[in-house]
Structure formats: C-alpha cells, structure tokens
Chains A and B, each alone.
Chain A
Amino acid sequence: MAQRNASRRKQDKGEKFMDYSLLFIVLFLVGFGIVMVFSSSSYEANQKLGDSTKYLRQQLFASILGMVAMMVVANIPYHFWERFALLAYLGSVVLILLIIPFGYSSGGATRWLYIGPISLQVAEVAKLGMIIFLSSLICKLGKGVRGNKGFWFVLLSPVPVALMLWLITNNLSSAIIVMGIAVLMLFVSCPDYKRFFILAFITLAAAAAVVFYVVQTAQAHVDELDFRGGRILAWLDPEAYANDKAFQTIQALYAIGSGGVLGKGLGQSMQKRGFLPEAQNDMIFSIICEELGLFGGIAIIIMFLMLIWRLMIIANNAPDLYGALLVVGVMGHIAVQVILNIAVVTATIPNTGISLPFISYGGSSVMFLLIEIGLTLSVAKGIRLKDL
C-alpha cells in the first residue's frame, strides 16, 4: 500500500510508473543466481581450470550487460517493437538456419552462434522473437482470433520455428517453451475454454501414448530407442539406469534428498564436487536444495510465483492489448521454463535440458530474460494509476 501511495504521489507530479516490486524480485533472482553459480561451479572450475571464479565472472558480465539492456528497453515505448514483428519471426528463422553452417557445439548439441567473442544461444532469441511476433499478430487479427481460422493460424505459426529448434538445434525443451508461449497467448486472447481443454487433453493423451510406446518397445528391443526414449525409461525407473541414462537425475535426487529441511549450508554441497556434472547449469536447483534445504527451495519457488504474480498484475493493467500480450508472453516464457526445470530436477517429468530462469549459468539466457523484463517494465510505465 505504501508503494501505491508513493506511486500515486509521483503520478501527481507527472512521473511515470515504475514497478519496483518486479524490479526487486528480478534483481534478487539475478543476484541469487550469481551467488549460486559461483557456489555450484567454483569447486569443479578450480579442479579443472584452476580458476574458481571463471563461471562467476562470465555470469556477472552477462548479468550486467543484461541489466543495461533491460534499462534501455524499459525506456523505449513498447509500441516501438510492433513494426519489427515480422522481422522478429524471420530473424529467428534465419538465425536458426545459420546454425547449420556456423553453429558451435558444446556438450553434444549445436545451439550456439559466435558473434565476435560473445556466444549466442539462438533459442533465446527465438523465444523473445515469438513473443513480439505473436503479440502483433493477435492484435492485427483482432476479433478474428476467436474464429477457428484465426485460432489455427496463431497456433500453427510458431510450429515451423519450434520444429526447426527441435530438429536443427536438437533442443526439444526450447521448442516446447516456444509452443507453450504461443498457446498461453492464444488462451488469453480467446474468450472460450473448450478448445483449450481439447488441446490439453490431446497433448496429455499424446504424451501418455509416447510413454506407453517407449515402455512397450523397451520390453522388446531396447536398442531401437533413441536417447529421448531412453530418458523416458530412466524417468520411470531412475535407480535401474543410475549409471548411464539416469545418472544426472539420480545425482540431482541425491543432492535434493540429502539437503533435508535446513540444507547443508551455503557452499557445503558435496554433489557439486564432481558427482553432479556441470552443477551450475540445468541442475542448479538441486544444489540450491542441497545447500539451502527445503526452505531455500520453497523460497525460490515463492520468488518465482511472486514474479509471475507481478507479471499478471502488469498484464491485467496494461494500457492496451499489445502491451498485455507482450507481458503474457513473458509470463508464459518464465512460468513454463521454471515449471519444466523444477519438474525435471525433481524427476517429476523425464529429463530434458532446460535452464532455471535468471539462476542457471548461461549468458544468453539471462540477457534475453532481462530484456524481456525490460519490455514488461516498459509496458508497466504505460499503466494509469487509476486502473490499478
């Protein structure tokens, strides 16, 4: 309430609204991420590279760069981006295609482009590009989105990008996130629930069918399964595949389980000492749980929930549909990614490489997420306080 009163006073003086709650939550998550990246990477970095702060420095650099970009974007009126809608879409496609000749591989997957000294994960660009593209598209369609034609057009337009992400960069998780963003934006734009229920049902049925198929095939011929099929088996019975397919999953469970209620204390993780490979990446949440316990893990979930709550408030009070859709896109992006990450780390769903927003190590990810936050801050600035 205090904040609201303060904002009102500012408004009276003709100042623009700044969502400090959102900013605080994001800065906290980024700062916490930097601490956890250092905690989870320093032991291995020291052992392997003789430089315990290597990942810390890279993450710090990307975060600072990201915050500068965030502030710049926050101060550009968001309608500025409307004219780049098609460019955002086509740009994503071109960048993904550029992976074929110029891509850089790491850990068995080709997902990065090098622009000078900076490596860029094209999936992160594609997620932001899709938010900008779909926001414009839905606005242009207007009421047309409610009809079946508009519905299918919006639903199918991200499919080529998702397919390319999956097939070219071998990044199923990013493809799922892109589709998730699109479905959520479409859900918000259409007044009905029926079609989405059907969609959800079909998705769940398809997932169940895949699991069923994998289990059946596994009983007959294990060799015929690709690595994703193997991951489903590993998910169903991690202990049986503890030394190969489910290695990472099991190690993450050891970390989470051994954390207990209060955790071992910051920096005291044992699993990061070579047992859980690349602990600073996708599985960083398990190290958080090991060091800070159930309290730390729940606290982070609450922080993300508060972040999504702030995004909901901004989206609901956005001056126009375009702004609202931009924020919904960002909200969908963060929500889907957090849910998938924590679900993977806790072995709730099969393992798929997906990072924890703001916290996992990864320059592209944190930079583009901060740019997305910049967009929502820009939208928030347009809010008239009487709408709040």
Chain B
Amino acid sequence: MENRMNQKTYHRSKIVTVFFLCMLVFLGLAARLFYLMVFQSEYYSMKARELHERERSIKAARGRIIDANGKILADNKTVCTVSVIHSQIKNADEVVAVLSDELGLSEEYVRKRVEKYSSIEKIKSNVDKETGDVIRARALPGVKVDEDYKRYYPYGSLASKALGFTGGDNQGIIGLEVIYEEYLKGEAGTILTVTDAKGVEQDEEGEERVEPVNGRDLYVSLDINIQSYATQLALQTMETKEADRVSILVMNPQNGEILAMADVPEFDLNNPYTLPNGMDASAFSEKKRQELLNAMWRNGCINDTYEPGSTFKIITAAAGLESGAVKTTDTFSCPGFIMVEDRRIRCHKVGGHGAEDFVQGTMNSCNPVFITVGLRIGVERFYSYFKQFGLLDKTGIDLPGEAGTIMHKMENIGPVELATISFGQSFQITPIQLATTAASIVNGGRRITPHFAVRAVTTDGTDSQSFTYPVRDDVVSAETSATMRYILEQVVADGSGRNGAVEGYRVGGKTATSQTLPRGSGKYIASFLGFSPADDPQVLALVIIHNPQGTYYGGQIAAPVVRQLFENILPYLEKK
C-alpha cells in the first residue's frame, strides 16, 4: 500500500506529461491541418477541380460566306450526333428499339454499340435536327444528342472551286474556306462537367460553360447573278462545243474585285467527295480516287497555266507603246509570214494582211506585226516590262494554290523565242494572271490585286474588318493605257473580235486561238478577253474554251460567249 502511494506521485506526473505531449503533437497536427485547409486550400481545390472536371468543347458556328447582294453562299446547318453512354443506360432494349427505329439503322448495329462497354459510343452523326429533337424528347437515360454544325452550300455546285468546302472538323479544305479559315472558324467554347474517377457525370454538380465565339461572316465580291449566268454560259458552251472545260472569269478591272469565277465542270459542294457522274468510287484505289478528286476540285483559272496566244498581244502592244518601240501610226507589211533568223514564222492568214498600221495589225491579230514590235523592244526591255506589269510574280489572289508564270530565263531568250513570246506562245501563265495584267493595262496603268474577300463581319454586326489589297501605279502611263483602250475597242468594233460587240455598249477586247502542247495534237484553246465600257472599263471578262470540237477560233466561239455575258450583265451592272 505504501509502495503504491509512493509510486503514484511520479506515475501521475508522468501520465500528465504523456497527455501534454499528446496535446502538443495534436496541436502541431491541427496547425498542419490549418495550413493545408486555409493557406493551401486554393491550390489543392484548383488541382482537385482539374481532376474532377471534364472538358467538352462546344463548336463555334463557322462564319457564313455572303455575296455582293447579301445572298448566303455558304451557311451552317444544325445537325445532331447521337451517342450512348454505357454506364448510364437503364433500359437497353428500349434504347436499341428507339434508336434503330428513328435513325433507320439495323437493330443489330445499334445493339452492338449499346452493349459495348465504353465511356461514350457514337451511334450516328449528321442526323437531321428534327430527328435529333425527337430522340432527345424521349429522354432515354444514357442517350446523348449533341448538336453540331455542318457546312451547307445553298447553291450546290455554284462557284464551287472558288468557295471551297470544309472537312469533318468544319475546317476549310480548299478555296476561300481555307484562305479565310482564321476569320471563318471562330473560337470553340467549352462545357466543364464534373465527373467521378470513371468519367460518369455528376449531375448535381452542374456545369460551367464558356460560350463559343462564332466565326466572322465573310462578304465577298462574287455576285451570285453574274456567277449563275457565267456558269450557265460556260456549261452551255462546253456542251455545244463539246469542250473539255470552259472557264469564265469576270472582274472589276478598277479594283480587282472578282464578280464571277466559273470553271466548268464544277462539283457539288455539299458532296465534295462524290466523284464526277458515272464514276464508281469503289472501282479505284485510294490513291487513284484522291487523284480524281483533286482533279475535280482543281480551279483552272488559278491552279493551271496555259499558252495565252493572241490575247497576250495586249501586253506586247502595251510594252511596245510604253517603250516607244511602236506608235499607232507605224505601218507594217504582212506577206503571210516573217523570217526570224533562219526560221519562217507564219501568220494565221496564209495570204498575209498586206500593208497595215499598228492599230490595223492589232485588229487583224497579225503575227508578223507583233513579232516586229517584239524584236524592236528587245529582250531586256521586254523582260523588264514583264516585271513592271507584274507578269513574273503571282497575282496574290486570295485563293490557295495559285500557279506561277512559266517563262524562259532571260539569258535563254534568243530572237526566235522573243518572236514567239510576242504573240503569246512558248510560255505559260494562268488565266487570272492574264486577266489581271490586261486589267492593269486598260484601267489607267494600276496593277490591282484580284480578290474575293471584301470584309469580315462579326455575326452580331458590331465589328467589321475591311480587307485592303496592294495597288501599284506604275504599270503603264495613262496615255499608253488610253491608247490601248482605243486599239482594243477597234478590235471589237471592226476587227477579229467583232463577235464580242454588244449593241449599245462600248466593248474592247482581244481574241486568241492557241494550240495546246504538244503541237500537232489537234487540240486548241479558244479564248476572248473583253471589257466594257471601252473608255472607262468597269467590267472585264475572260472566256477560255479548252479543246472545242469543230470551229476552234477564239473570235468565232469565245467572243460570242463574252457578248452574251455582256448583253446580260452590262445592263444589270448599270442598274446597280
């Protein structure tokens, strides 16, 4: 008993010591807890939220493409994607029955996907909004209907090669759609949902949305009326002349705005992966199929070069006049051919044009006259004019894949080459380059940049961004330009281009007939470049007919196309 009492004093104090030691440690732990839950709380909350939240993107509506009249050329259609979330399905049989019925899919196909153990399984995409709404209204657990945008082109194949189309992620693939991707695509938004570790959404936690920013509407200079008519004419010409391809380019020579760009056959923008009619996609290998599609999408006005032939005489004439190598009053004599070194180069008129001045020579499209002028200009001067006219660069048009000019190197140009260049042979340029250069020569000497896009406007219209394009003033003098307008008006009024004349309007222009390479293939390209009014050009059109059957002279088959086009659009443009 005494022993016990004796021990008790230090037992007690030691037990109390143990208690206070514990309290000290507990206090330390509480302090640690305080640090974690007050000072570190924000950091760990953020980390935890990152872990718990799943980000789903909300697509932004792609900007529309709108023509000069406000008509929508490229629009968005709301479509739905129907998917199932395995873990949330309550009644699998009902889901299979409803989905196979509404979507027109086989029960077997749907069941396989419904029963697949995955976080989310897509059943069908590009479902009509109406069908999507019906399925959503059934409110089946585990069935998700997500809305999405699909590009839609109200005019089908119209201006297909200029507009271009979009791919699976709504990104531009060709044409304006790809060049103006930055403006059109907008910015995707996000939905943040809270999920458990397996990804099952926790409904009670709600969701956080960051709204998408829709793409800007792109206003272009294309005029749907002119484009329609040009396409119609091109198709008609291709059919009647049994041609391979017909391109029609209509632009405003004053500022470079393109009013129409048709390159038939075009393709259906709403089904860009369907091969041209009659072709069975399954009959070709993957590579071959892609080649065929690329050929179908190719824009002949931009992507391909050709030998311009006599329309290029506009450039030779301008260079000759500008350099002083020739005056309108200079007289020439054409015996039907001209000797350049040891080569005898024929004129298209076998008997020769006889005596003629420069204006008459142009009206006759007389090769010996232009060869003479070309030789007078000389290689170096001619070449520097090419540069000055912008012929050796690309035009800078706002379409992808513009081809460059294929021209001899200056040091390789001898008299024979110079002679052939003078009347538009032995080199290649794109139609857009020819049209742009001709426009620059007749518009007073300003090199303009051909383009479609005028401005990009936000969907709510609050912000509008206008596009500006480079203009260079020093192409030719105003005097030379005026002379050129006069000469080219004469060509149409009473020369080789008289089939391009339109009653009541002053039209200037130049015809061309060129043989395609290799020579002797019997294939020709007939073309005509016209503009009006001849004294103050407001519209310029270039028609190119590839491989017409029967008559193949530009003056006979291409000039009438421009006449028909002008007969329609000149009064229309006057009214605007």
Q: Please tell me if the beta carbons of B16 and A274 are within 8 angstroms of each other in the complex.
A: no
> Which residue of the partner chain A has the closest CB to B19?
A312
Query: How many Å lie between the Cα of A320 and that of B3 in the bound state?
Result: 10
What A residues does B11 contact at CB under 8 A?
188-189, 316, 321, 324
Would you call B407 an interface residue if the criterion is a C-beta within 8 Å of the partner chain's C-beta atoms? no
Q: Please tell me if the beta carbons of B29 and A270 are within 8 angstroms of each other in the complex.
A: no
> Which residue of the partner chain B has the closest CB to A312?
B19
User: Which residue of A273, A293, A316, A338 contacts B37 across the interface (Cβ within 8 Å)?
Assistant: A293
Would you call B23 an interface residue if the criterion is a C-beta within 8 Å of the partner chain's C-beta atoms? yes
Known contacts A187-B14, A316-B15, A339-B22; is-contact A260 B45 (Cβ 8 Å): yes
Q: Please tell me if the beta carbons of A301 and B30 are within 8 angstroms of each other in the complex.
A: yes
Q: Please tell me if the beta carbons of B26 and A332 are within 8 angstroms of each other in the complex.
A: no
Known contacts A43-B196, A188-B14, A188-B15; is-contact A301 B51 (Cβ 8 Å): no
Q: Please tell me if the beta carbons of B4 and A301 are within 8 angstroms of each other in the complex.
A: no
Of A142, A255, A294, the most chain B CB neighbours within 10 A belong to: A294
> Which residue of the partner chain A has the closest CB to B195?
A273
Q: Please tell me if the beta carbons of B51 and A324 are within 8 angstroms of each other in the complex.
A: no
| Smallest CB separation, A383 vs chain B (Å) | 13
| Smallest CB separation, A334 vs chain B (Å) | 9
Would you call A275 an interface residue if the criterion is a C-beta within 8 Å of the partner chain's C-beta atoms? yes
| Smallest CB separation, B324 vs chain A (Å) | 80
What B residues does A143 contact at CB under 8 A?
3
Would you call B44 an interface residue if the criterion is a C-beta within 8 Å of the partner chain's C-beta atoms? yes
The residues in A between 288 and 313 inclusive whose CB is less than 8 angstroms from any CB of B are 289, 293-294, 297-298, 301, 304-305, 308-309, 312
What B residues does A142 contact at CB under 8 A?
3
Would you call B197 an interface residue if the criterion is a C-beta within 8 Å of the partner chain's C-beta atoms? yes
What B residues does A315 contact at CB under 8 A?
15
> Which residue of the partner chain A has the closest CB to B87?
A47
What A residues does B36 contact at CB under 8 A?
253, 256-257, 346
Would you call A348 an interface residue if the criterion is a C-beta within 8 Å of the partner chain's C-beta atoms? yes
| Smallest CB separation, B27 vs chain A (Å) | 9
The residues in A between 92 and 147 inclusive whose CB is less than 8 angstroms from any CB of B are 142-143
User: Which residue of B26, B48, B198, B202 contacts A258 across the interface (Cβ within 8 Å)?
Assistant: B48
Q: Please tell me if the beta carbons of B18 and A328 are within 8 angstroms of each other in the complex.
A: yes
Query: How many Å lie between the Cα of A189 and that of B3 in the bound state?
Result: 13
Would you call A184 an interface residue if the criterion is a C-beta within 8 Å of the partner chain's C-beta atoms? yes
What B residues does A343 contact at CB under 8 A?
29
What B residues does A255 contact at CB under 8 A?
48
Query: How many Å lie between the Cα of A184 and that of B38 in the bound state?
Result: 34
| Smallest CB separation, B274 vs chain A (Å) | 47
What A residues does B18 contact at CB under 8 A?
184, 187-188, 312, 328, 331-332, 335
Would you call A158 an interface residue if the criterion is a C-beta within 8 Å of the partner chain's C-beta atoms? no
Would you call B469 an interface residue if the criterion is a C-beta within 8 Å of the partner chain's C-beta atoms? no
| Smallest CB separation, B307 vs chain A (Å) | 66
Query: How many Å lie between the Cα of A335 and that of B547 in the bound state?
Result: 99
Known contacts A47-B198, A321-B11; is-contact A253 B19 (Cβ 8 Å): no
Known contacts A188-B18, A257-B41, A339-B26; is-contact A297 B33 (Cβ 8 Å): yes
| Smallest CB separation, A319 vs chain B (Å) | 9
Query: How many Å lie between the Cα of A24 and that of B76 in the bound state?
Result: 69
What A residues does B4 contact at CB under 8 A?
320-321
What A residues does B44 contact at CB under 8 A?
253-254, 256-258
1/0 per position for A37-68, CB-CB distance to B under 8 A?
00000010001000000000000000000000
| Smallest CB separation, B408 vs chain A (Å) | 65
| Smallest CB separation, B478 vs chain A (Å) | 74
Would you call A350 an interface residue if the criterion is a C-beta within 8 Å of the partner chain's C-beta atoms? no
1/0 per position for B1-31, CB-CB distance to A under 8 A?
0011001001110111111001101100110
| Smallest CB separation, B531 vs chain A (Å) | 71
What B residues does A332 contact at CB under 8 A?
18
Would you call B47 an interface residue if the criterion is a C-beta within 8 Å of the partner chain's C-beta atoms? yes
Query: How many Å lie between the Cα of A301 and that of B4 in the bound state?
Result: 34
| Smallest CB separation, A386 vs chain B (Å) | 14
Would you call B472 an interface residue if the criterion is a C-beta within 8 Å of the partner chain's C-beta atoms? no
What A residues does B47 contact at CB under 8 A?
254, 257
Would you call B71 an interface residue if the criterion is a C-beta within 8 Å of the partner chain's C-beta atoms? no
Would you call B348 an interface residue if the criterion is a C-beta within 8 Å of the partner chain's C-beta atoms? no
Would you call A22 an interface residue if the criterion is a C-beta within 8 Å of the partner chain's C-beta atoms? no
Known contacts A270-B194, A274-B197; is-contact A309 B33 (Cβ 8 Å): no
| Smallest CB separation, A287 vs chain B (Å) | 13
Known contacts A321-B7, A339-B22, A343-B29; is-contact A294 B37 (Cβ 8 Å): yes
Q: Please tell me if the beta carbons of B37 and A260 are within 8 angstroms of each other in the complex.
A: yes
The residues in B between 195 and 237 inclusive whose CB is less than 8 angstroms from any CB of A are 196-198, 202, 205
Query: How many Å lie between the Cα of A312 and that of B17 in the bound state?
Result: 10
The residues in A between 233 and 270 inclusive whose CB is less than 8 angstroms from any CB of B are 253-261, 270
What A residues does B34 contact at CB under 8 A?
294, 298
What A residues does B33 contact at CB under 8 A?
256, 289, 294, 297-298, 301, 342, 346
User: Which residue of B3, B26, B29 contacts A348 across the interface (Cβ within 8 Å)?
Assistant: B29
What A residues does B37 contact at CB under 8 A?
256-257, 259-261, 289, 293-294, 297
Would you call A191 an interface residue if the criterion is a C-beta within 8 Å of the partner chain's C-beta atoms? yes
| Smallest CB separation, A19 vs chain B (Å) | 16
Would you call A378 an interface residue if the criterion is a C-beta within 8 Å of the partner chain's C-beta atoms? no
Q: Please tell me if the beta carbons of A298 and B30 are within 8 angstroms of each other in the complex.
A: yes
Q: Please tell me if the beta carbons of B22 and A335 are within 8 angstroms of each other in the complex.
A: yes
Q: Please tell me if the beta carbons of A273 and B196 are within 8 angstroms of each other in the complex.
A: yes
| Smallest CB separation, B184 vs chain A (Å) | 39
Of B12, B25, B36, the most chain A CB neighbours within 10 A belong to: B36
Query: How many Å lie between the Cα of A293 and that of B38 in the bound state?
Result: 10
What A residues does B25 contact at CB under 8 A?
339
> Which residue of the partner chain B has the closest CB to A189?
B11
Would you call A364 an interface residue if the criterion is a C-beta within 8 Å of the partner chain's C-beta atoms? no
Would you call A360 an interface residue if the criterion is a C-beta within 8 Å of the partner chain's C-beta atoms? no
Would you call B136 an interface residue if the criterion is a C-beta within 8 Å of the partner chain's C-beta atoms? no
Would you call B43 an interface residue if the criterion is a C-beta within 8 Å of the partner chain's C-beta atoms? yes
1/0 per position for A196-233, CB-CB distance to B under 8 A?
00000000000000000000000000000000000000
> Which residue of the partner chain B has the closest CB to A285?
B33
Q: Please tell me if the beta carbons of A308 and B16 are within 8 angstroms of each other in the complex.
A: no
> Which residue of the partner chain B has the closest CB to A295?
B37
Would you call B90 an interface residue if the criterion is a C-beta within 8 Å of the partner chain's C-beta atoms? no
Query: How many Å lie between the Cα of A331 and that of B21 in the bound state?
Result: 12
Of B22, B52, B202, the most chain A CB neighbours within 10 A belong to: B22
**Given A257-B40, A301-B33, 6 extra CB contacts under 8 A:** A257-B41, A257-B45, A305-B22, A312-B16, A321-B11, A346-B32
A-B contact pairs, 10 of them (CB 8 A): A143-B3, A187-B14, A188-B14, A253-B36, A256-B44, A258-B41, A259-B41, A275-B52, A297-B30, A346-B29
Residues on A close to B: CB < 8 A? 43, 47, 142-143, 184, 187-191, 253-261, 270-271, 273-275, 289, 293-294, 297-298, 301, 304-305, 308-309, 312, 315-316, 320-321, 324, 328, 331-332, 335, 338-339, 342-343, 346, 348
Q: 6 nearest interchain CB pairs?
A: A257-B44, A274-B197, A273-B196, A254-B48, A258-B48, A294-B37
